[in-house]
Amino acid sequence: MFHILPFVAASEFALPNLPVEIWVIILRCLDPRSLVTATRSVDRWERITRGDPVLSKTLKKQLLLEKRTRREEMLIRGLVIFINRTAFGGANKILRPQNKHHNTRRRK
Quick one: pLDDT at residue 1? 44
Count of C-beta atoms within a 10 Å radius of residue 50: 13
Quick one: pLDDT at residue 15? 75
Contacts 24+ apart (CB under 8 A), 48-55: 48/20, 48/23, 48/24, 51/20, 52/24, 52/27, 52/28, 54/28, 55/24, 55/27, 55/28
Task: Give the separation between CA 101 and CA 46, rounded to whole angstroms.
Answer: 39
Quick one: pLDDT at residue 47? 94
The segment with the largest mean pLDDT, out of 4-13, 66-75, 80-89, is 66-75
pLDDT for 20-52, tens place per residue?
999 999 999 999 999 999 999 889 999 999 999
Residue 92, classed as helix, strand or coil, is: strand
Smallest Cα–Cα separation from 49: which of 61, 37, 35, 62?
35
Quick one: pLDDT at residue 2? 47
Quick one: pLDDT at residue 70? 85
How high is the mean pLDDT of the chain? 76
* pLDDT higher than 90, residue 8: no
> What pLDDT band is residue 91 in, cutting at 50, 70 and 90?
low
